Every structure is written in structure tokens, then in C-alpha cells.
Structure 1
């Protein structure tokens, strides 16, 4: 059926201002697999906007050719609240002005809400139980509070995505190679997504923590057993969620957007949301070798002093534990004492930089993915400890 486009109204923050979400729907409502794709939940991250700009014509062509098999929901911009947050000419849409923090943290833990609505044991029949849980998911999300614009936005986005088979949240880093975050429980799907997009760095965790958007519809599938739901221990992990980091903030171009859109179309065919013919139109995947790294084996390098960050290695470089990756230059110090070296604890791949060059003590300035877990990493703390 032809694409359905909706404008979902959001609460007005002040008289004279109207907000809405744009939502594009392909396929039959309720069709499986259901895939949800959104961009710019962090509203200061724009490569995903360009990717979706190029994805929509590809999906329109697939739809016209009868190649849509499941339900595909695309939200080109997930955060009109943050996109309007400007200060001194810059967009600062990573954090909410209302004091509720990072837009991609502290999303609702749905498991206890779902457990209340299941009202009895599961049957042990996986397919039937998955559909029953999905019904409870929809009911739980509908009952989430929406008294503030932020709460309403969260409930709306979860209502579109929480019962999906696959959830892709398109982000970017400061300056970075392509990479993704996903759960170890769906490693095979994560590595397939990485292959389709030409991603070589796949960061996999057993428990992410932090309440990121893409984990909310995934972790509930094993958290139900923590809430005394009989039979929940036999549930499959029926949703795959990933945060896809489309390089760095400055990597916005038609060429890159078209490349990323083709990768997303290949993934949609991989999971059965389109026919293989749609992927054929996207062309072959880039020549890349995805590698899965444990999230607790990622070294985050922090600035020890204030100054100018100067990187001594390029993105993608292999570095050794103890190697100097960057220096921070204090412009007020005497030249002989102005350079403070920053070393890595990990042997692995240097895949991300801070886009800002004037840094403060404690600022994260680089990330290195390696093989050996690091003792300072904490389970469930993302990369923020």
C-alpha cells in the first residue's frame, strides 16, 4: 500500500508555537517484521537526517514495486524540542532545557509495567507469548505520563517503536568512524547490520545501563522474569535495538547520506521487511570487515588538563596500550611545559574523537576499542563511568 505520512501533534511549549513529529509508514499496519527507524534524538547530530532523506525515495520505489513485506516506520527527526534549542547561534539539542537531562537517557523501564498487565503466567508457546507481551507493551506505553512536552515526546516515540521487531536509532559521534552499539543477545543481527552499512566497529554489551532509547524495547524481554512472571524465562529476545553512529557531526553530505540509506535498505531486506529485490537496488555492501568489541573493552581517554587537544594518530589507527594518542596543549604555559600527553590503556582501534579542540579537565577526547575488558569499566554504565 502507498506510504502513509502523518503529522503527530505535540504539546505547545508556549502560545504561538506549534510542534509535530513527521511519521512515514510503509506496508500494512501490524505487519511483521516491524522495523522502526528514527534520526536526531540528539538534535545536534545530523547525519541521520541526511540518511533518511535518501532512504525515503528508496522505500517509495520499493513500495511501488510491491517489495515491502513487513511494516516500516520512519521518523526523520525524533526531537523537535531539541532542534529548537539554540544558544548563541548554536544548537545544543543533546540535553533538555527543562532539566530532564540527556534526551537519550532514562527512558522508561517497561518490564514492571508490562508484568502488571500480563495478569498471569505465560503459556510456554513462544509465538503466542510474544504477541501477548507486545499487547501488554502497547497498553503500558499508552499509560505512560505525558504532562510535560518531554514526557509527551517520549510516550509518542515509544508508542511508535516499543513493540517493533527491530529498532534503529541513528546518531553520530563528535568525529568518528562508523560504529554501532547493540546487545550481545542479538549479536548475529548486529553483525549483519554492520555488514550492510560497512561498519567495522560493533560495540556489544550484555547490559548497557543508562536507559538509552534503543535498549528500552530490548531489555524488557529478559527483565520480565525479574518481576515474577511465570514462564518469562522462556521468552525469546523478540526485539533487536541498535544505536548507529553515522561517523561525526560534520559528516553530512549527499554522498554519505546515499551510502547510509543504501545500507539501511540492505538491512531491511536482510530482516525480511522488504524483498531481496529491494536490496539489489541498493547495490552491494561496502568492503568492510565488522569486528565485535565488548563495551567494557572500550577505553575512553579524558583530558587531564585544560587546553587544546591535538591528536597524534588518525581515526582507524591501531594503537598499543601505553601509547600516546594525543597531547593537550596549555597555551598559557611555557613551551617546554605546555604539552601534556594522553595515553591509552587499551590495545585496539582508535575510532572516535571529541569534535571540540578546546577542552576542560575530564572531557572525553577519544575512544579506543580493544579485546580485553578494562578493570575500570562498570557493568551498566555505558561509556560514562
Structure 2
């Protein structure tokens, strides 16, 4: 069946203005696995939009050939509220101006509402139980408050994704190599995605923390077992991941076409599209979040990097120097930041004026680091 494109109107921020989402739908609900993809939930992160721009023609062609065996839902821009937040020519789209915080944190917990809805209804048949749980998730989302425009946006996006088999949330970092976040329970699928996307880094979490969109979709499937004995054997039926498409400035047709080909290949590999998959490269570098060194600026100053992202480093290697321009003695103005693990220097901040505590650089390693906190993403 031909692609269906829906316009979902959102709450107006002021008289005389309006916002809406575009949602592209392929395939038939219930005909096979469902994949949900969204770009730019952090509204200042645009490489994912370019990937979707190049993915849609591939999906259109597959649809015309009858190759789409499941359901695919694509939201090419997930946050028109954040995209409209401008200060001069800058779009600070990571945090909501209404005070509700980071757009990719504190997503609603589906477990509390779903558990009483499914209690006594699971029969031990995996396929039927999965459908019972998904119906409960849809009911929970439908009952959520949507009084503010951010709350309404969250409700709409979660309503589109909560019953999917695959949820791909497309982001980017400041300046980075491509990297992918996923839960350890889905390491095999995440590795497939990394290889299809030619991503050199896979970051594995046991508990992400912070309530990001991907975890809000995937974790209820195992957390329901903590609430109900009958749910302990539920399949982990939603693979949800955050795909970081390099850095903010890496918006180009070349990157977009390559990334779209990787996404398409993954959808084929997972049986959503019945088409030939592209060859995969041999390996990716896998690290747990607590093995990832996150460096923060100890003071305000200008940042001078010693290495480019993607560089293999050893513990003790110089990554960056913070230069304090108000120091009276230039010899005392320099503070060095050195790697605390062997691994890949895969991301760095895209500003060169750092405030105290700002994340400066990230190195994915293979050894647990005592200063890293479990369940704090890469923010502590």
C-alpha cells in the first residue's frame, strides 16, 4: 500500500501561530514487525533529518515493489517546539524554554499504568501476551496528561512508538564519530545496527537512567516482571536505541545517503523490508557506559584539542587543554585533560569556550572506571 502521510496538529504556543508533526506510515499495522524512527528530538541536532530525507525515497521504492512486510512509521522532525526556539541565529533545542527541561529526559513511565491493566491477563503465550501488553501501553499513553504543548508533544510521540518492535531515536553529538546507545539485553541487535550503520562505537548500558526516549520504550518490557510474577517471562519485545549521527555540523547529502542506506539495511535485516541487505564490516568497538571516560572542564576557559575524534588513545594521552585567559602568568593558564582509559576518543564539545563542569570529551574504553556513575547516562 502507498505511503500515508499524516499531519498531526499540536497545541498553539500563541495566537496566530500553529505547529504540527508530519508522520509517514508504510505497510499495514499488524502485518509484521513495526519500526518507528524519529529525528531531531533534540531540535538542534539535524543530521538525522538528513538521513530521513534520503531514507524516504528508499522506502517509497520498496513500497512500490511490495517489499515492506511490516509497518514503518517515520517522523522526520520530532520537535517543532524546540526547532522554533531561536536566540538570534542560534537554535538551542536541547532544553524546553517552558522550564520542563531536557526534551530527551523524564519520559513517562509506562509500567505503573500498564501493570494493573495486564494483571491476570497474561497466559504464557508469548505472541498473545506481547499484544496484550502493547494494548495496555496504548491505553496508558492515551490517558496521559497533555495540558502543555511539551506534554502534548510527548504524548503524541510516545503514542506512535509504544507498540513498536524497533525504536530508533536519531540524534547527534557536538563533534563526534558515529556512535550508538543500547541496552545490554539487546546487544546482539545493537551490534547488527552498528555494523549496518558503519558505526565504530557501541555504548552499552544496563540501566541508562534519566528517562530518555529509548529507555522509556524498551525498559518496560523487563521492568513489568518486577511488578508482576506473570510478566517475568515476557519477551524483551522492543529494541530501542539512540543513534548519534556524528556532530551537529555533519549535515550533508553524502552522510545522509550513507546513513539512510544503513538504516534501510537494518530494516531489511530485521524482516521489516524483504530486500537484500548490504554487506557489513567486520567489527565495532563495544563499551559499557561505566567504562566510558567523560571529561569535564575544571574551570572556565578556552578549549584547545590535541587530538581529532576517532583517535585511538592510551590512558595518560593528552586530549585537551583548558586555557584561562585571565591568568596573570600564561604558564599557569593551562590545565591539561588526559585520558583515564585506553580506547576511542569518540566525542567532544563543539564550543571552544567552556564553563566549569561542561563535558569536554568522551573516550570509550574497556575497563570499568571508578569515577563513573551507573544510571547517569554520560552526564556524571
Give TM-score scaled by structure 1 length. Answer: 0.96
Q: Deviations for 1:1-58, whole angstroms, at most 9, x for unmatched residues?
A: 0000000010111111111100000001233200000000000000001000000001
Other-structure match for 2:352: 357
Q: Deviations for 1:234-286, whole angstroms, at most 9, x for unmatched residues?
A: 11100000100000000000000000000000000011000124x3xxx544x
Other-structure match for 2:312: 318
Mapping of residues 237-252 of structure 1, within 5 Å? 237-252=236-251
Mapping of residues 236-385 of structure 1, within 5 Å? 236-277=235-276, 279=277, 283-285=278-280, 287=281, 289-333=283-327, 334-385=329-380
Rounded Cα–Cα distance in structure 1 between residues aligned with 2:89 and 2:263: 32
Rounded Cα–Cα distance in structure 1 between residues aligned with 2:185 and 2:99: 33
RMSD over aligned Cα atoms: 1.1
Rounded Cα–Cα distance in structure 2 between residues aligned with 1:288 and 1:360: 40
Which consecutive residues of structure 2, in runs of 5 or more, have no partner in the other structure? none
Other-structure match for 1:168: 168
Q: Deviations for 1:30-88, whole angstroms, at most 9, x for unmatched residues?
A: 33200000000000000001000000001000101111010000000000000000012
Q: Deviations for 1:155-174, whole angstroms, at most 9, x for unmatched residues?
A: 00000001100000000000
Secondary structure of 1:346's aligned partner? coil
Q: How many residues align?
A: 379
Q: Deviations for 1:283-324, whole angstroms, at most 9, x for unmatched residues?
A: 544x46212211110110111121111111121112222222
Rounded Cα–Cα distance in structure 1 between residues aligned with 2:331 and 2:373: 37
Deviation at 1:337, TM superposition (A): 1.9
Counterpart contact for 1:120–1:230, Cα < 8 Å: no
Counterpart contact for 1:199–1:289, Cα < 8 Å: no
Counterpart contact for 2:319–2:339, Cα < 8 Å: yes
Rounded Cα–Cα distance in structure 2 between residues aligned with 1:312 and 1:214: 33
Rounded Cα–Cα distance in structure 2 between residues aligned with 1:31 and 1:383: 38
Secondary structure of 2:202's aligned partner? strand
Deviation at 1:185, TM superposition (A): 0.2
Mapping of residues 177-256 of structure 1, within 5 Å? 177-227=177-227, 229-256=228-255
Q: Deviations for 1:108-152, whole angstroms, at most 9, x for unmatched residues?
A: 110111002114252112111111101111111111111110111
Mapping of residues 54-65 of structure 1, within 5 Å? 54-65=54-65
Which consecutive residues of structure 1, in runs of 5 or more, have no partner in the other structure? none
- Greater Cα shift, 374-383 or 57-66: 374-383
